[in-house]
Amino acid sequence: MTVKILAVDMDGTFLNSKKQYNKARFLKQYEQLKQNNIHFVVASGNQLAKLITYFPEINHEIAVIAENGAHVVDAGQEIAFAHLSQQQYIEILKAIDSSYISTMVICGKQSAYVHSSMNAEDYAKVARYFEKLTVVDDFYALDDLVCKITFTAQENESFAIFEHFQKQSFVADKVLVPVSSGFNFIDLILPDQHKAHGLNLLLQKWQVEPNQVVAIGDNNNDMQMIKAVGYGFAVENAVEALKAVAPYTTVSNEQEGALEVIDLVLQHQPPFA
């Protein structure tokens, strides 16, 4: 089966621990992907503004699935942006315990927002992932469309925070659902607005079948995407839950695992022979 789409997660998959990738190697691969009419897709929990900074040479022509699937753009053209209604947003803010305010990131279309009570350590961590980040005194006063709410946690707190939000009424009512996106971030995302949903919108646009798609990831928020495609890869450093469902594995992000898969595709090596 001919591969038509190659989709990659970024943090922990395409990027190494320094938030970098082998640009010289990849840009050569990218030219070959184009020559073979294979679409390159970035699929990440990060905001669009951050993701396009990684690809200054080609960001005007690639597709990006941002915010864990809520924001989908192809060659600079917006395909979809899913968001909470203003009423839903206000009700969720009221439901979230005030003790979480200082660790929250409200993800909007124009910017991400943190509260002025966030400490310097958490702000520095968050700022690594958000190109557009605004400090506000009042989350209720935001004039933006909100697609996701993220919480930063200490390493030993992530599971407890995830469990806490599993019990919230807005989760039971399926307004938002919690997902671990790695690096001690817990995301509250719109139900069914995951990476696989965003990818499916692109499949429909390009008239591609799921079995013609390669997807590579490392964490729980890649689960639906990996399961939905013909060639789902987990990098060696992936969480065990993802490895358990991924039909294929590659070496770690530090060893350029995603680029190794691209080489297999381009060279028609197994499983693409």
Q: What is the mean pLDDT of the chain?
A: 94
Domain that holds residue 145: 86-189
- Report the pLDDT value the prediction gives residue 49, as an integer from 0 to 100: 96
> Do 151 and 72 fall into the same domain?
no
Q: Nearest-CA neighbor of 135 among 158, 108, 105?
A: 105
Last residue of a domain, one of 172, 189, 206: 189
Given strand 213-217, what is the order of strands in its sheet?
A: 77-81, 71-74, 63-66, 39-43, 5-8, 213-217, 231-235, 248-250
Number of domains forming the structure of the chain: 2
> Do 71 and 205 fall into the same domain?
yes
CATH number at residue 19: 3.40.50.1000
Decide if pLDDT at 173 tops 80: no
Rounded CA-CA distance 264/213 in Å is: 14
The answer to the question of residue 218 being in a domain is yes
The answer to the question of residue 165 being in a domain is yes
> Do 94 and 181 fall into the same domain?
yes
Decide if pLDDT at 160 tops 80: no
Rounded CA-CA distance 218/237 in Å is: 7
The residue to which tokens 């789902």 are assigned: 232
The answer to the question of residue 271 being in a domain is no
Decide if pLDDT at 1 tops 70: no
- Report the pLDDT value the prediction gives residue 172, as an integer from 0 to 100: 67
- Angle between helix 257-266 and 23-35 (nearest 10): 30
The residues annotated as belonging to the active site are 9
- Report the pLDDT value the prediction gives residue 2, as an integer from 0 to 100: 92
Which is more confidently placed, 94 or 263?
A: 263
Mean pLDDT confidence for 21-44: 98
Last residue of a domain, one of 132, 166, 189: 189
Mean pLDDT confidence for 85-102: 90
Q: Which two tokens stand for residue 207?
A: 């008239």
The answer to the question of residue 47 being in a domain is yes
